[in-house]
Structure 1
């Protein structure tokens, strides 16, 4: 493969319980029933603009109320991420080697681009990426193909030589819809059997296997 398109959370970085804790804190502050850890982890692959409404199906938000909930979450997340956000073992070395081999590396994430850029810089891996797309930079969120299609178009990439890599079924569905190869990683938070049911081209057990693609 020439072009590697990565998800962020659960694929490149382990945010530990950051997303889960921040979600529960935001829901609690908003006087909503706290979603279960399983529900939070399941929806981790799609933007909070979508997942929060799915986890509070009985609540009818006004636009202002919902934006306030998202703001509370983002503040909680930012407060927690410094002590929780780490790279998965082997990711830095694999990215460094792919970059050395002059492969093209990109990130397409459900995270807002402001937080995404901040996280990439704090983990010192922003240096390896040619392009980064956050949830606020696409019209339709995962599993819609917008993020991958935008990357292919902007950088004139061949789908046949490009691969979407992620730990969630939404990443694989997005990649398939965009016509690129797909790889599910099993070091993230999502269910391995669910990933296999999406029939990705590859299942990766460790970051070093990225070098074999």
Structure 2
């Protein structure tokens, strides 16, 4: 653990409560895509990975692990690229706005980040949300000053599960991939960690992933990031 000098965190489901934060925003966008038809909007929500029976997003679904571009492509398959890009710009603007969602931090999030930052670890965000959305979340949580950078899907050529964000963070900080830990609640997070040669792939059960879906790709599975400081300290 002494070799770990930096940590990349996924955002939704890792730092913030994904279900509490994003249901209303996802539903609003589905209603737009359905032109106000409630039944059609529900079908779009289910198509993207929302389970109305449990009122939760499904592991590794487009909602849970994909980008805004993935959702636009799924919901507007009949449109050409130029038209989808216009809708994508609107999606990005909405999800980055104060009206979209109020980030609900997971229990212990701020205290954990404060502890890790105080130890001198370099912290970053790797999310398939937009970069502006990630930056807004960090500001809303009051932790932006602890982070070296936030990388959304639009900050790199290839988003998760590609390793581009790992390399970008290493270029910024001067760290090697082997000196990083990647922490996330979805397989995309762990697949990026493996593809980028990250030193430690940490799965957390605070989001949409399950122990069964995450264990094959993780070096360690924790209940939440609250367990991370003790684990890194070797406790």
Q: Does 1:22 align with 2:25?
A: yes
- TM (norm. structure 1) is 0.87
What is the TM-score normalised by the length of structure 2? 0.80
Q: Distance in 2 between matches of 1:16 and 1:167?
A: 13
* Structure 1 residue 18, shift from structure 2 partner: 4.2
Deviation at 1:63, TM superposition (A): 2.7
Q: Is the 8 A contact 1:23 1:73 kept in 2?
A: no
CA contact (8 A) 1:15 1:81 kept: no
Q: Is 1:80–2:100 an aligned residue pair?
A: yes
Aligned-partner SS, 1:127:
helix
Residues 47-90 of structure 1, C-alpha deviation per residue, up to 9 Å, x if partnerless? 1212442x44x8222234323433454455432313xx211111
* Structure 2 CA distance for aligned equivalents of residues 17 and 34 of structure 1: 19
| Deviation, structure 1 residue 29 | 1.9
Count of paired positions: 208
Q: CA RMSD in A?
A: 2.2
Structure 2 unpaired stretches of 5+: 35-39, 51-56
Any stretches of 5+ residues in structure 1 without a counterpart?
A: none
CA contact (8 A) 1:183 1:202 kept: yes
After superposing on structure 2, the runs of 4+ consecutive aligned residues of structure 1 that deviate more than 4 Å are: none
In the alignment, structure 1 residue 46 sits paired with structure 2 residue 49: no
2:226 alignment partner in structure 1: 208
1:36 aligned onto 2:46: yes
